[in-house]
Each structure stands twice: as structure tokens, then as C-alpha cells.
Amino acid sequence: MSRELTSCLFCGQFVLQIPGWTSSIPSYRLMRAAWEPQHRFVEGSLHFSCLRRSDVRHEFRSEFHSIATGHGREITFESAGQEHTLEQPGLGYTKSLFTGTQCEIYRSEVTDSWLVLEQAGPWFLLDANQLKEIGEGRPARSGGDVERIALPKDPGPELASASLSELLEYLRLDAVHKGLEDEAEAEYEFWDYYAPKRILEYSLETSLPLPREAVEFLKDYLHRYEPINFDEL
Ligand SMILES: [Zn+2]
């Protein structure tokens, strides 16, 4: 990933991907910056705390909402003096289940997967296992796979033994992720580091910081939802 794609769309700082605290918008989503005069396409990473604080969070959320809860929206744009029309691939969370003051919850109608979309912008995707964790009164855990990312600068030999807080402090992300230590119950593991290219391999599993009202709704919902019957699709 280029430096631009690993920088936060809002604050410009490096984004270490942390499930529930960060995300990315890949170019194939064809998301547009409706809050900018040129409506350019948005591509890159973001800290959720920066999105929550941003003046354009509602416009950002509105664009993301259209993509997440739809599929195949046609968008037109101008490039080199010509008008083009493209079909925007949506995430297909089409069935609305809950609207609250902090978030909305949607369900995919083709897989057992749910979207929790905060009113302030950030979002969380849940699978059936995570739904079960919530139903049993446990936090929904996410991540745990090995990730590879190019760090913005070489942290030196201490990296191998650094804790997650030390890593975040070193990357100057401790303020951006304030509260993560208390809420995330993070399990961070250092795997490898390739100094010439500053490639860090790590795994990180966290508890998703879901809004309280989402947890309450999903706890009850778990007992009445019907899994997707693939034979009937
Ligand atoms: Zn940021």
C-alpha cells in the first residue's frame, strides 16, 4: 500500500489497522466525497475517532450508508470533459432491523452478516459467531489474522518486544486511539519485521466497541433471527 493509502483521510497520520477502531475505503467502492466541491472519489484509510470528530461526518456517513445498504447504484461523473456512468458495488446490507439514537443495524439478505452503522459514521460488520458472542454477554471479537504493513519510519530494534501501547506511542497514535487500552481487550502479537522496507507483520484481535443500544438489541435479536437458508436463495 502506498503511503497515501495508509494515511488517515481526516488527520493525515499513519493508520495501523485495528479492528473496530480503523477501517479503509478501497477504490472499487467508488465512494465519492460529497462534501467536497469536486466530489472526487475517496480511497484510503481512516481512524474512526477522526471520523467521529470530523465536521463532515454526516456527509461521509450518508455516502457510506448508500454504499453499505445498497447494491448497484448508478453514479455519473465527469472526467476529461466527458460524462461517465458507473455501477457502484454496494455491500448489500439491505434489510433494516433497528434505528436508534447511536446507530442503525442492517442485515444482509444473502449471508448471515450484519452491519452496525453509528450515527456518527463508524461501522462494524458482524458474522454469526460474533452475534452469538454478544448474545452470550461476551464482547464481539474481531481480527487475529496476520497483517503486513509498511511503517512510516523505522522504529528500531525494540519493535520485536514492544507492547501495543508502546507501538501506538511510537507511531504517535496514542491520542488518536485514546480509550482503546480499556475497551479493546487487545491481543497483539509481533510476528516479524523486515527493516529495509519497514514491513511489520503482526496480528491483533480486539473487542469491537459497539454502541450499547446495538448490544442490547442484538442480544434479544439472536434468539429470534432465522439463519439464511442457502437452498432458498
Ligand atoms: Zn486520523
Q: Is residue 43 part of a domain?
A: yes
In this structure, of 76-85, 151-160, 192-201, 221-230, the range with the lowest mean pLDDT score is: 76-85
pLDDT averaged over every residue in the chain: 92
Distance 175 CA to ligand 1 centre (A): 10
Residues 11, 50 contacting (CB under 8 angstroms): yes
Q: How far is the CA of 177 from the centre of ligand 1 (A)?
A: 9
* pLDDT in the model for residue 202: 96
Q: What DSSP character marks residue 121? A: S
CA of 153 to the centre of ligand 1 (A): 17
| 212 is a domain residue | no
Q: pLDDT per residue over 6-41, tens digit each? A: 899 999 999 999 999 999 999 989 899 989 888 889
Looking at per-residue pLDDT, the higher value among 144 and 71 belongs to 144
CA 196 to chain centre: 29
pLDDT at position 3? 63
In a domain, 131, yes or no: no
Contact between 167 and 159 under an 8 Å Cβ cutoff? The reply is yes
Q: What pLDDT score does 118 carry?
A: 98
H-helix segments, the chain: 48-53, 57-68, 128-135, 164-170, 180-183, 212-221
Q: Residue 146 belongs to what domain range?
A: 3-92+141-207
174, part of any domain: yes
Distance from the alpha carbon of residue 13 to the mean position of ligand 1, in angstroms: 6
Own/partner pairs, 24-28, CB within 8 angstroms, 24+ separation:
25/64, 28/89
Ligand 1 midpoint to CA 171 (Å): 12
Does 156 map to a domain? yes
Task: In whole angstroms, give the CA distance from residue 41 to residue 157.
Answer: 39
Is 136 domain-assigned?
A: no
